[in-house]
Structures are given as structure tokens and as C-alpha cells.
Amino acid sequence: MILFPADTLERSEVERDYRLEFEGARAAGFATALFDFDGLRRGEDLDRVLWRVPESLRGEALIYRGWMLAAPDYARLFHGLEARGWKMVNDTKAYRFGHHAPENYAFWQQWMPQTAWTTREEFEHNGFAPIYEVLKAFGSSPVIVKDWVKSQKHRWDEACFIPDASDEDEVRRVVSRFLELQGEYLTGGLVFRRFETLRGDGAGQVFEWRSFWLDGRLLSLTPNLVREDEPDLETVADKARECPSRFFTLDFSQKDTGEWVIIEMGDGGVSGLPSGVNIDGWYRKLAI
Ligand SMILES: Nc1ncnc2c1ncn2[C@@H]1O[C@H](COP(=O)(O)OP(=O)(O)O)[C@@H](O)[C@H]1O
Ligand SMILES: [Mg+2]
């Protein structure tokens, strides 16, 4: 079964952004169910949040496809579904692994740009000192900043790209703006990644391929722009089979040197399908 968020207004309908996925899932033979996403986030009673979810008598597998959830909310969803007999393919530990950059960096490190992080608590107690401290590892290289889950990539110069990791004024300017934009939605803390020069269309768009994996098997590999080349995934695929998440994404780009890098890992339930993907075909693959 695939679980989707219900629409906020039309509660018996799937959230509109997931309509095509909902239809694709049904066409591929999946059972589907809806739940009250906002209610879950507000901490409402699970019986209300999940009242449309039927019980599973045989402990069947369930895949969540929907918006990102904070880890504690995911944990409540997991337990609520478990009480109804469903087993989410990713338990909360696996969700955190895929969703939080600091948890998965060591696992994919050989393909990822150098990465360092701080926690929100460190910042709240000690201000910028712990940030300057972790940034020492990058010397005067450029880095990008994000939280443990998301960046402000659409505000690149203002809140994402730091031209020189050793320039404390620049660090403070970009990080302050990033924190201001994230506000209460800041997840975990800050992540810094060494900036790499990546291949793109020359007009400001970097080429990026999103891959989905289920139980170590590649489900899809889709570029953000029309491309004929694609990353060689042979060595990554070996590693993917050992991954502590059953359902996840990896985004790839190519350095100007030709080397492929993993830009980020994501949880398979809450990562968007790329616009170039054939949704019905994707759900048919998922169903195999
Ligand atoms: N290490 C890096 N070097 C160069 N560009 C990067 C790097 N990491 C991310 N980017 C660029 O920034 C964008 C956003 O980063 P990403 O980690 O994917 O954050 P988000 O979770 O917001 O999508 C990427 O799509 C990529 O183009
Ligand atoms: Mg991304």
C-alpha cells in the first residue's frame, strides 16, 4: 500500500500535488490510503490522523509518498501505522539516515564533496564560534550552506554560497540570512559542503540526476535537463545494497574534471519525482 497526504480542503481526496502519483500507484496495482498530514504535524490524536487508513491483518508493507516530515512526526506516523498492522518500509531510524545529511555523510563519503556540520544547540549557546571552528577544515575554499535537510539554493548569493570559508564576515552574512529565511523550520543545524565546479548548461543550470533505490535496486535515474550521458553507478550500486535505508534517493552531478559526485541523499518517501519521470512507469517499477 502507498500512503499519501489528503488534501487540506477536500479531505476525501489526495493532496493535489500527489494526484498523478496516486493515480499511477492505483494503475500499477497498489492499494492506496490517505491521512491527515496537517493533523499529524499539529500533534493531533493518531486515531483522527489515520482514521481513513484500513487495518492490515497480515503486517503488510507500506510506502509513504508525501511531504517531508520532522523526524518526531515521522516516528508518530510509524507507530500509528504499526498499531494498525502496517510496516513502513523505512522505520524512523532509516528515515533519519536518508533525510539528515550528517547521518549519511560517512556512508557515502567517497563520492560526496567534503562536508562538516554543527547543531542548532551549538549555535544557540555559542553563536558563530563553532561555525568558524568547523569551517577551518575548508581553508579558504568556497562552500555552500544548508540545514540538515534543505538549502536556500534559489537565493544562491544571499543565503547559500560562501565564496571563502575563512572569511568570517562573509560566513556571518550568508549564514545569518540563511538562518533568517529558515526561521523556525531550521532542521537539525547547519551543513557546509565544499563547493565543486559542476557541469551545466552554461546558462546557470547545473546538470543533476535523481536516482531512486528500493532494497538496493535502482528504480529510476532521471536528469533535470535532457541529457544523453549518465553517471556510472556500478560502484555506488554495490554500496547501495548495504545501505541502512530500504528506500532512498541519491542526486548526482559531474565535476568539471569528469568525476561524478553525490550532491545529496534523501529519503525515498519524501523526495520529489523529477519532472522528467514517467509517473505510471515509475510506480510499475516500484510494484515489481
Ligand atoms: N558541493 C557542491 N558544489 C557545488 N554545487 C553544489 C554543491 N552542493 C549543492 N550544490 C548545488 O546546490 C543545489 C542545492 O543543493 P542540495 O544539497 O541539493 O540542497 P536542496 O536539499 O535544497 O536541494 C544543488 O542542486 C547543486 O546545484
Ligand atoms: Mg537538492
Question: Parallel, antiparallel, or unpaired for β 87-88 and 61-64?
Answer: parallel
| Residue ranges in the chain whose pLDDT is less than 70 | none
Atom of ligand 1 nearest to the CA of 261: 1
Residue located nearest, by CA, to atom 6 of ligand 1: 195
Beta bridge partners of 87: 61
Ramachandran assignment for 209, one of left (phi > 0), alpha (psi -120 to 50 degrees), beta (any other): beta
CA of 141 relative to ligand 1 center, distance in Å = 16
With a 6 Å cutoff on the Cβ, whether 146 touches ligand 1 is yes
**E strands, the chain, in order:** 2-5, 32-35, 61-64, 87-88, 115-119, 143-147, 161-162, 189-194, 209-214, 217-223, 247-254, 260-267
66 with 18: CB under 8 angstroms? yes
Tell me if 264 CB under 6 Å of ligand 1.
yes
Q: What angle do CA 3, 7, 8 make, to 5 degrees?
A: 125
How many CB atoms within 10 Å of residue 82? 15
Which ligand neighbours the alpha carbon of 144 most closely? 1
Q: How do residues 3-21 score in pLDDT, each as one tens digit?
A: 999 999 999 999 999 999 9
Give dist(CA 225, CA 69) in Å, integer: 28
pTM of the model: 0.97
Rounded-to-integer distance, Cα 266 and Cα 270, Å: 8
DSSP 278: -
CB of 151 sitting under 6 A from ligand 1: yes
**Domains in the chain, CATH or no CATH each:** 2-88 (no CATH), 98-109+199-287 (3.30.470), 114-194 (3.30.1490)
Confirm if 268 and 245 have CB atoms less than 8 A apart: yes
pLDDT score recorded for residue 267? 98
3-state SS, residue 251: strand
Q: Do 88 and 78 touch, CB atoms closer than 8 A?
A: yes
| C-beta 113 within 6 A of ligand 1 | yes
